[in-house]
């Protein structure tokens, strides 16, 4: 076998073994943020503009039986089962992040705020208004007031 073929077999094996699966994830909580790289025509542009390997972010919301869903802005803003959400990503990769020491009441308030945007269309132009919503904008609006967070700096792009 050639070294190139062994390399590809090793990469394939690694990707299969580390594929995100609900039973291998940490215990998820309401308000956890999940990041992934999705397969879309905008993926490369988002990666270049953000300087990040992630192109999509969503919010975990557990149902009454603790089944994980994500609240995402893909057009329209909606809830989707976490398993389906994972499938839309590249190589089944996700990253889970959690706000430190955040009270349940603030997380619940954030999820209620996110629900206000359900059904709104996706913002392909990333205009940062509330008529059309993109993924990180949804997260920003959902958590901004409840957690009193200031995230990064806002910069206007020159078109």
Q: Give residue 148's region: left, alpha or beta (phi > 0; psi -120 to 50).
A: left
- Alpha-carbon torsion (124, 120, 84, 63), positive or negative: positive
Domains in the chain, start-ordered, CATH in brackets?
3-147 (3.90.1720.10)
**Alpha-carbon distances, residue 143 vs 99, 108, 114, 137 (angstroms):** 10, 10, 8, 10
Query: Does 66 have pLDDT greater than 90?
Result: yes
* C-alpha dihedral sign at 5, 9, 10, 11: positive
Q: Which residue has the tokens 């590809």?
A: 8
Greater pLDDT, 115 or 93: 115
pLDDT in tens, 133-151: 999 999 999 998 788 776 6
pTM score of the predicted model = 0.85
């Amino acid at each position: 076998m050639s070294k190139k073929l062994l390399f590809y077999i090793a990469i394939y094996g690694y990707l299969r073994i580390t594929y995100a699966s609900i039973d291998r994830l940490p215990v998820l909580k309401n308000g956890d943020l999940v990041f992934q790289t999705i397969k879309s025509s905008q993926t490369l542009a988002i990666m270049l503009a953000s300087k990040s390997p992630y192109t999509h972010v969503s919010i975990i919301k557990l149902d009454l039986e603790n089944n994980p869903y994500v609240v995402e802005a893909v057009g329209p803003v909606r809830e989707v089962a976490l398993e389906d959400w994972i499938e839309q990503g590249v190589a089944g990769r996700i990253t889970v992040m959690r706000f430190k020491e955040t009270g349940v009441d603030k997380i619940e308030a954030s999820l209620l705020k996110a629900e206000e945007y359900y059904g709104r269309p996706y913002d392909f132009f990333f205009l940062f208004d509330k008529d059309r919503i993109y993924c990180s904008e949804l997260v920003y609006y959902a958590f901004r007031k409840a957690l009193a967070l200031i995230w990064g700096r806002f910069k206007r792009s020159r078109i």
